[in-house]
Amino acid sequence: MLTVQGNFSNQSYAQTSQMEGEDKMEHKEGSNVQNGFSPAGPHVNVTQPVEKITNNLSLSSLREEGSPVLGETSAPITIVQFGDFQCRFCGRFARDTVSPVNQTYIQTGKVDLVFKHFVTHGPDSMTAAMASQCANEQGKFWSFYKILYGNQGEENSGWASANNLKKFASQIYGLDSQKFNSCLNSQKYKSFVENDTAFAIASGYQGTPTFIIEKSDGSNPEVLLGAYPFPSFQAIIDKKISGS
């Protein structure tokens, strides 16, 4: 089982998700961290030195700042995904690759998967990102992640409107809809999502999905841009685990 620290809400993934075999996950309650960035979206003004931002991808920092984490605290390797809920390649990764990565590496305690927001697809992406953080607040991020990517529609066609997001959230077992709706309406996590996006831009990432595969202390990072299949992740992770 997973260990849960601090204010993390622990849950069995099997309780809330149909993703078979993925019963180990860990959530940390999201926090609204101010990193000194101005409002994000596509036009982001970075007001903090890049060096300060890019040194902040260690697992402990990511947990601390409230990014959703799937996996155990002791995992030696971390995959950080910069994603957008409207990006179809992010959807492909979520549907095809997360499951084998989870079964092979996350459940065995070798890897953590962390999600960071990189809002590049317009206004509905921002709403979806904020909604996912509201789900994360209740320890349901990965259930919400699966539902959104499983129901992905055409970009900015309304499938990720606030009303639809509330409907998706209401399908999640154990999620308090009233609390979720209130969180989404208040745009509580707007600056959190903007900070994530500003971080991605300042780090020079070019699009979604971007993956950083690194040691948990943030060292030895390897960046992948695109929906790489499982064997590609396997090759990099195995190499990092073997220490070569």
The answer to whether the beta carbons of residues 196 and 126 sit under 8 Å apart is: no
Q: How far is CA 73 from CA 25, 132, 143, in A?
A: 10, 21, 20
d(CA 234, CA 28): 26
Residue 227 touching other proteins (CB under 8 A) = yes
Query: Closest CB to other proteins among 108 and 206?
Result: 206
**Shortest Å distance, C-beta 62 to other proteins:** 23
Q: Which of 170, 206, 217, 220 binds other proteins (CB under 8 A)?
A: 206
> Phi and psi for 71 in degrees, rounded to 5?
135, 180
Q: 69-70 and 111-117 as β-strands: parallel, antiparallel, unpaired? A: antiparallel
151 binds other proteins (CB under 8 A): no
Give yes or no for a contact between 181 and 24, defined as CB atoms under 8 angstroms apart: no
One of 122, 162, 215, 221 touching other proteins (CB under 8 A): 122
* Residue 87 in contact with other proteins, rule: CB under 8 A: yes
Confirm if 145 and 94 have CB atoms less than 8 A apart.
Answer: yes
Q: Is 96 in the site for other proteins (CB under 8 A)?
A: yes
Edge to edge, what strands does the sheet with 111-117 contain? 10-11, 25-26, 69-70, 111-117, 77-83, 210-215, 222-225
Answer yes or no whether residue 86 interacts with other proteins by CB under 8 A: yes
Residue 232 as a binder of other proteins (CB under 8 A): the answer is yes
- Does residue 158 touch other proteins according to CB under 8 A? no
Contact string (CB under 8 A) for other proteins, positions 23-52, x = contact: -------------------xx---------
Q: Which residues bind other proteins (CB under 8 A)?
A: 42-43, 86-92, 95-96, 120-122, 154-157, 201, 206-209, 225-229, 231-232, 235-236, 239
